[in-house]
Amino acid sequence: MQLEDYFEFLDPDDIRIKGHRIGIDNVIQYYLQGYSPEQILEELPSLNLEKIYATLTYYLHNRDEIDAYMLRLAKWREQRYQESSANPSPLMQRLRALKAQREQELLNSW
């Protein structure tokens, strides 16, 4: 089995662990935060240690490429967050209005 056989390369910015909806970025983020493979397994229990070690090995063998991948994902997520903050959905607008209303009611009850 080749190391790449553990992954699904859906597009250049979407690499997932085969058989899961979990991206390799999820495992790598925990690793970069200092989690051991066993601790990563506790956080992502649908995986197994073999897949976690395969992901970490793939990362360590392709560090420059995967670091660039992780940076692109972080930028994409930040862009999506900024867009959703600037243009909230009708549901989010309603939830924010309800929250503000409840906070005002609490203030008025004092």
Whether the predicted pLDDT of 74 surpasses 90:
yes
pLDDT digits (tens, 9 = 90+) for 31-53: 999 999 999 999 999 999 999 99
Whether the predicted pLDDT of 68 surpasses 90:
yes
pTM confidence score: 0.76
Q: Quick one: pLDDT at residue 40?
A: 98
Classify the C-alpha dihedral 46-38-16-58 as positive or negative.
Answer: negative
Distance CA 66, CA 94 (A): 39
Query: Residue 38 half-sphere exposure, CB side, CA atoms within 13 Å?
Result: 0
The pair of structure tokens assigned to 34 is 């200092």
Mean pLDDT, range 69-88, rounded to an integer: 90
